[in-house]
Amino acid sequence: MFKKIVKTIIAIILILIAIIIVGAILITPTIILYRISTIHSWFIVNVWRISEIETLKRNLRRAFPNKGNAEIKKIATKCVEGNMDFIIEYFKKTIYCEHQIKKHCKFTNLELLYEKFQNHKFILCYGGHMLNFELLISLPLHTKEYGMCQLYLGNTKQKGKIAKWIQQNREKYGAICIPTSSPIKTLLNLKNEMDLGKSSKKGYLFGTLADYDTLSDDIHVTTLFNKDFEVVTGSERIGRKFNMAFLYAHIRRTKRGFYEVEFKESNPTDLETNPCAYTDEFVRLLEANIKESPELWLQWSEPRFNTHTSHPKTTPEKSIYGAYRTLRRC
């Protein structure tokens, strides 16, 4: 009984701390938060030597063997800064109006989407965990006739109101969250509604981020920066089943807090012989995106290039830096 009371008190305290932190983020000017992010990031990389930072720098050295230690440390600092910026921007966007969200995330070639929708009811759009991928959910504000749905992974440790709050924020601008447990059923329902004329949408973009770390057996081992890299393949199978067009969302940061998204075509040449052709092409496009802006990829701190080694996977909830990583893995 006593232990239960203690656990309840601790849970209440943690919730109150979280509310205070989120409240502080919402009322503090963004420019001040960015300055705090910059200072804190430098401190974490240069003073506070935690395991995730060593993993981050190790992965950067493997991906960019020609870069010196000084440049690797500079990129690592920017990567940590990006993780902190992600948290700041995640909560800030919850109070953005339609005009503000459009200002912070622009889509540069929507005509490619409209072209693909002429022959396809669904477009599968791959993306990576590039800063700030959460803003991709604003797409329905730009494409009124076409909707957007996305796989909602959730986190097995999330329960109740937190998971519901995250889902509500991801659907705020019109996107539909599809649980990973029933993507085909949901897509079939959307297709049937369009076929029967019961839908206000002419088509849907099906968004998926396939570069997350997974314990699933449903993986394909490909190469990223000439290193083994595990990727889930379920999205490609769904895309082929529904005869979807395949695209990649290439994210660029024009300045802190402001992003541009360019859709790139996925045209693998080995479709007939390779059941994971689109998945391999996605990784190729992801690598090009990362090379352009390595500091924007939020997965460097994962032990991603140790697929077939005994290097242990880290648990994000067990470190301070991991707190910045937990939210984006939802």
Query: What does the pLDDT read at residue 307?
Result: 46
Cis, peptide link before residue 59, omega less than 30° from 0? no
Tell me how far apart the alpha carbons of residues 278 and 34 are, in angstroms, rounded to a whole number. 37
- pTM recorded for the entire structure: 0.86
Q: What is the pLDDT of residues 106-121, one digit of tens each?
A: 999 999 999 999 999 9
Total structural domains in the chain? 1
- Residue 115 to residue 110: CA distance in whole angstroms: 9
Element spanning 37, H or E: helix 30-46
In which domain, by residue range, is 256 found?
Answer: 2-328
Strands 105-107 and 122-127, how do they pair?
A: unpaired
Tell me the per-residue pLDDT of 146-198, one tens digit each, with 9 for 90 and over: 999 998 765 544 456 777 888 888 899 999 998 887 889 999 999 999 999 99
